[in-house]
Amino acid sequence: MSEPRVLVLAREPDIYRAPIRARYPELALETCSSYEALGEALRRFEPTVVLTGKIGAPFPRELLLSSAPSVEWVQCDSAGVDHLRPFSSRVRVTSASGIHDEALADYVVCAMLMFNLHFPAFFRQQRDHLWEPKPLRPSNGQRLVVLGLGAIGTRVAAKAQALGLQVVGVRARPQGDAVGVDKLIEVLEDADFLAVTLPRTEKTLGLVSEHVLTSMKPGSVLVNISRGGIVDERALARMLREGALRGAVLDVFETEPLPAESELWDLANVVITPHTGDIEGWQSKVVELFCANLERFRAGKTLRNVVDPERGY
């Protein structure tokens, strides 16, 4: 195999270029910091490998996967790769799945504990100078349903079990103690929490529908760290407003940024975070993953985190 030619596409490409160059001084390496300049960079440099981030929307998927014959492999710097669908049968795509799993698992655990300890209510009371004690709820023995058992969902399950929660995993293909999606309604009936950790694919869009939400145990809490469009936001807002659910912690939305007129902003039982999937130092983890895969690419070995075009992750 000839030596790879690597193009880095990112808003600040030097974050990746510098450590990669330090590790591979002789590597043919170019950078591109805008979608507008991508076409010219692809024609001039003819890369075989592209390390890419999302600079904005829409992502130039057609240009990268279908109009650049030299490109053989695309490494994304995110776990989600829905912006590259439909995938090319010619170009291998790898994700950064796994680099955020510890922090996002902490996020879900924190979300559950916040509602058990009434922190959202206490924050409002502090703002309003109110002194109203509330009894705390122990997590031990509570039931958590984790919808999606990839790298993140698996760590969520492990950390929740360490706190004494009973965990039921739901996945597309049942394995071990995990059940299939066809059992989702059944397992939600007595669950205190639902954590949505799915990738965005054609099969997962709208999966947490109004029917699923209304099947949740009254007084339960939803935590969504997946992708926008998987949870029915209108139905969720109505159930939260009516008190059918105790609360929700939401990091992803159908439209991002979440529009100012969304009623979710003003619901007292909702905690909103601005798609906070990034962790401190995450770019260095991307570089480590990319370099490990580059060695595999050079050796003709199977790459890590290869996206299955059929499943979409």
| Residues annotated catalytic, as ranges | 227, 256, 275
b/e code 101-137 from CB counts within 10 Å (16+ = b): bebbbebbbebbebbbebebbeeeeeeeeeeeeeeee
| Token pair belonging to 251 | 């990091």
Three-point CA angle 163, 169, 174, nearest 5°: 150
Query: Count of residues for the chain?
Result: 313
- Return the closest-CA partner of residue 225 out of 265, 167, 271: 271
* 250 CB-near residues (< 8 Å, 6+ apart): 222, 223, 224, 264, 270, 271, 272, 273
Residue 199 Cα to chain centre, angstroms: 6
